[in-house]
Structure 1
Amino acid sequence: MGQLYSPFRRTPRDRRTLGGIRRWLTAAAGALALTGSLVAVGPQASAAGLTQVTGFGSNPGNLSMYAYAPDGLPEDAPIVVALHGCTQSASDYYAHSGWPKFADQYKFALVLPQTTSANNANSCFNWFDSADSTRGKGEALSIKQMVDTAVARYGSDTGRVYITGLSAGAGMTANMLAAYPDVFAGGSIDSGLPASCATSVTAAYTCMYSPPDKTPAQWGELVRAAAPSGTTRWPRVAIWQGTSDTTVAPANATELRDQWTNVWGVGQTPSRTENLPGNTTLTQYDDASGHPAVSVYSISGMAHGLAVDPGSGAEQCGTTGTYYLDTICSSYHTARFWGLDGGGSGQPPGALPAPTGLTVGGTTDTTVSLSWNAVADAASYTIYRDGTKVGTTESTSYTDTGLATGSTHTYTVAALDSAGAAGAVSSSVTATTTGSTQTCFTANNYQHTAAGRAYQSGGQTYATGSGQAMGLYNTFITHTLKQTSPGYYVVADAGC
């Protein structure tokens, strides 16, 4: 952990009351600290093609700007801003993250801000300090000035500027999305924390290990308070989190989901869920037009870091290193979520309208029968149960089988065109199978909470309905819960 209380020198800009305790935060917590070696970067960074840009504004945050523009970059191309983690540098993130591959392939400019130990003992972006992470101040304003400079330098499309970051960089990313929704069309928060979660050292520890149990509305209000008054346009947000992360608790992904779905006004019921490579589960939440507004990528078993997948395949990218973990290429999937692979708007390619008239035709102990109105030009239809794809059919009816007795499910349907692109998702219907409602679920406390079978308060977990104590809110404690009635669960570890 190092010398927890030893002071450190700061520049005149940073000689504030938080000066001494920032070292405490960054050293003791790992500061969301990624322990790769710090790379000294001069006018030309060590990674080929990454160039320092000077004179990009008043730079109140005392940051350095590095940029990469692929050959043949067209006018009106997008920009991706990528924030490194603690003890890292712009060239380190450039070399490992995989973003240069897709900048070349999809033709967008990369901007990589860099901080140093002059700002923070472990070269972390000061995500927990409102003097650096709010609109018009410190590091946040320096990053905004980099965007303005890149737009002028490359003739970029101001409607397609995106930001991503890892760990402390992810904490800053969330704050930038909240402070500058007029600048960023989308963001990706990789192993990070909700916007405005921490404005002090104590709050930073709480956020990292046991984030506050705020309602979605409370989290959303923090974003609305940070944004310009009257903001109605919000960025599309990707959230990446490993389930075995002990530096940033996986619960942060749930709180982030709650925050940004509330901002979008779409609720916390998934629109769809699918399995991706690398033990990754993707859960999406659509806006009113049926396009993903918030996407949560949960990587089973991954510790703290950025997900990469070295190799030459189309969906592979990056190189492994300290806290660059070989699971799935997060940069590829994030780029696609934003629409950088050709769509340019973050919207899926399908143009078919949502099916109408979705109706439950009947139920048995184990089945639910559905029907809906045909969609012109639809080649087939995909059926989603509780946000997860369960079947595809060319007809306008479907029977879902193998269900638990007395279980309640929510269904939606989307039409697919001849190329297999899904259109907008239908309105949902709810169906309950007949028979006993007593159903049992065995999972860890984090999974129970994410599924709504439990809730967390003060870092402890409690069964929904009965309120029975289940222990610490994490992935290491497992219980069996019995559902005795809708929305009511009891601990049934002794048998169900």
Structure 2
Amino acid sequence: MDKPVRTSGPVARAVRAVRRWTAVGTAVLTLASGTAVAASAAPAPAAVAGAAGSGTYQQVSDFGSNPGNLAMYSYVPTGLPAGAPLVVALHGCTQTANDYYSSSGWPKYADLYRFAVVFPQTGSANNSLSCFSWFDSGKDARGRGEAASVVQMVTKAESLYGSDSHRVFVTGLSAGGGLTADLLADYPDVFAGGAVDSGLPAQCATTLGAASGCQNDDQHLTPAQWGDKVRGSDPGYTGPWPRVAIWQGTADYTVRPVNGTELRDQWTDVWGIGQTPSSTQSLPGGTTLTTYDDGGGRPAVALYSVSGMGHGLAVDPGSGPDQCGTTGAYFLGALCSSYYTARFWGLGAAQLPAPGGLAVTGTTAHAVSLSWNAVSGAASYAVYRDGVRVDTGAVTGTTYTDTGVDTSVAHGYAVAAVDSSGTVGARSSTVSAGGSGTPAPACFTDSNYAQTVAGRAHQSGGQTYANGSGQAMGLWNTFTVHTLEETSPGFYVLADAGCPA
């Protein structure tokens, strides 16, 4: 549903191709001579180094069981460090991974902002137009088909490139945009954000027959009904939702502009923030940006409406920092959507400095306690064990206890500050913990009040008791001080006479 077959030669150039579309699964190109030619996918791209960036673009094999029968291509900037973000970019119908790599502008920002890009590719064996199957519940649901294959690619990329699993994003054009919305609904635990370009709401259609209606008509669903389609895609999920950018041309007659409104309704309802804009501003290319903020004042949903733009991805060729891409069939000159999407996700923002003073403050057989100095401007902190992030994204103080770890083996810990946009700053130097075979006991000296706040004790009737052992510690206040030793995970004993007790 994205672009006609590219043809070459004097005869092809002399005639004008007119597309006739039905639903999504079939299309023909009717030439002026009256000959009908079936649309087909372009050949698979070969590995290319440096064609659109300074790094390496190549196919990646053996990324999993691949139930969706997809191919995986990736672009990795030269010298990309571990812990960098990861972007998944899905092409549109009749396109290939190579088309999206060459024309979307994502390699430019991968180089500038330091992240890897995965370009999944489908083909005519899956769909006659090489469309991703956003309309097939057997292929676009959690754990199934193409959706599962894409997530396997994410896992493979994290393994190969050391990508930060907390900063994985997905974007796509048209059918790729439709699958992007499905992926955000299916795997909110995998993707921190997404961008749907000329695409459709998550789970709008579950059959090919229903696809045309989604593309062309208002579905007359309430925001809550749209939101239920997301919530039903991964029942029981209670974690944070992805932040979603929506790109829609006002003159799009393939995926009508109502889809942008429906996407807005869907994701604002999921976030529970309503459909009243938090801000509206004008951007280049006749674009109006409307944002919808979460409770903390950070944009959770953004709708980019491009005046007069038809069906395609907005690009803006040039060398400026906010310019990207190559114009062509379904890569339309307006503004660089990849630039604005990356910034919406927090990529490219100035990083906070590395925290200083990281130290191990306690070790037990199964836990390591850390502390560090505060960083100005930090909204929270990210904690890494052996290069892998282990916190849940809610460390707002300057201490952290890593539990469930075997400290008879040595581990390296580092910490980074995270700003209010979610951008992770530079990592601290690494400190070592464990590795002695028999870890030293962890002892904590603090007021009874602080011990309860830290989860080492509890209070009842104004009295304080050690967790696990239940030993009495006296009044629950900030003046009475005791030393507690953690002898096993969550089990504390009084050790005022000396630690170990």
| Corresponding residue of 2:25 | 26
Answering whether residue 151 of structure 2 is matched by residue 147 of structure 1, we say: no
The alignment partner of 2:139 has SS state of helix
Matches of 1:54 and 1:273, distance apart in 2: 44
The alignment partner of 1:270 has SS state of coil
| Corresponding residue of 1:326 | 333
The alignment partner of 1:266 has SS state of coil
| Corresponding residue of 1:401 | none
Answering whether residue 181 of structure 2 is matched by residue 204 of structure 1, we say: no
Map Cα deviations across residues 448-483 of structure 1 (whole Å, 9 max, x no partner).
xxxxxxxxxxxxxxxxxxxxxxxxxxxxxxxxxxxx
Q: Is the 8 A contact 1:86 1:124 kept in 2?
A: yes
Map Cα deviations across residues 189-245 of structure 1 (whole Å, 9 max, x no partner).
000000000011231111000031100000001000002413231000000000000
With over 3 angstroms needed to count, the CA separation of the structure-2 counterparts of 1:74 and 1:197, relative to structure 1, is: same
Matches of 2:253 and 2:133, distance apart in 1: 20
Match of residue 262, structure 2, among 255, 261, 279:
255
Q: Is the 8 A contact 2:90 2:173 kept in 1?
A: yes
Matches of 1:168 and 1:297, distance apart in 2: 18
Matches of 2:28 and 2:249, distance apart in 1: 18
Match of residue 38, structure 1, among 17, 22, 42:
42
| Corresponding residue of 1:315 | 322
Correspondence 1:257-276 to 2 at 5 A? 257-276=264-283
Q: Is the 8 A contact 1:23 1:120 kept in 2?
A: no
The alignment partner of 1:72 has SS state of coil
Q: Is the 8 A contact 1:307 1:330 kept in 2?
A: yes
Match of residue 161, structure 1, among 168, 185, 193:
168
Map Cα deviations across residues 349-394 of structure 1 (whole Å, 9 max, x no partner).
x9799xxxxxxxxxxxxxxxxxxxxxxxxxxxxxxxxxxxxxxxxx
Shift of 1:72: 1.8
Map Cα deviations across residues 117-160 of structure 1 (whole Å, 9 max, x no partner).
01110111111001110000000000000000000101110000
Counterpart code for 1:27: T
Shift of 1:342: 2.4
Matches of 1:43 and 1:166, distance apart in 2: 22
With over 3 angstroms needed to count, the CA separation of the structure-2 counterparts of 1:25 and 1:344, relative to structure 1, is: farther
Q: Is the 8 A contact 1:39 1:92 kept in 2?
A: no
With over 3 angstroms needed to count, the CA separation of the structure-2 counterparts of 1:176 and 1:148, relative to structure 1, is: same
Structure 1 unaligned regions, length at least 5: 2-21, 354-420, 424-496
| Corresponding residue of 1:475 | none
Correspondence 1:209-288 to 2 at 5 A? 209-288=216-295
| Corresponding residue of 1:193 | 200
The alignment partner of 1:295 has SS state of strand
Q: Is the 8 A contact 2:41 2:123 kept in 1?
A: no
Matches of 1:199 and 1:170, distance apart in 2: 15
With over 3 angstroms needed to count, the CA separation of the structure-2 counterparts of 1:39 and 1:257, relative to structure 1, is: same
Structure 2 unaligned regions, length at least 5: 2-20, 30-38, 353-375, 380-418, 422-501
| Corresponding residue of 1:123 | 130
Counterpart code for 1:38: A
Q: Is the 8 A contact 2:40 2:129 kept in 1?
A: no
How many correspondences in the alignment? 328
Counterpart code for 1:81: V
Map Cα deviations across residues 365-424 of structure 1 (whole Å, 9 max, x no partner).
xxxxxxxxxxxxxxxxxxxxxxxxxxxxxxxxxxxxxxxxxxxxxxxxxxxxxxxx999x
Match of residue 300, structure 1, among 295, 307, 313:
307
| Corresponding residue of 2:78 | 71
Q: Is the 8 A contact 2:177 2:197 kept in 1?
A: yes
Map Cα deviations across residues 411-442 of structure 1 (whole Å, 9 max, x no partner).
xxxxxxxxxx999xxxxxxxxxxxxxxxxxxx
| Corresponding residue of 2:460 | none
Give the RMSD, CA atoms, in angstroms. 2.7
Matches of 1:281 and 1:105, distance apart in 2: 26
TM-score (norm 1): 0.63
Matches of 2:137 and 2:334, distance apart in 1: 34
Match of residue 117, structure 2, among 100, 107, 110:
110
TM-score (norm 2): 0.62
Runs of 4+ in 1 over 4 A off after TM superposition: 43-48, 350-353
The alignment partner of 1:307 has SS state of strand
Q: Is the 8 A contact 1:36 1:88 kept in 2?
A: no
Answering whether residue 174 of structure 2 is matched by residue 170 of structure 1, we say: no
Larger CA deviation: 323-332 vs 201-210? 201-210
Q: Is the 8 A contact 2:314 2:335 kept in 1?
A: yes
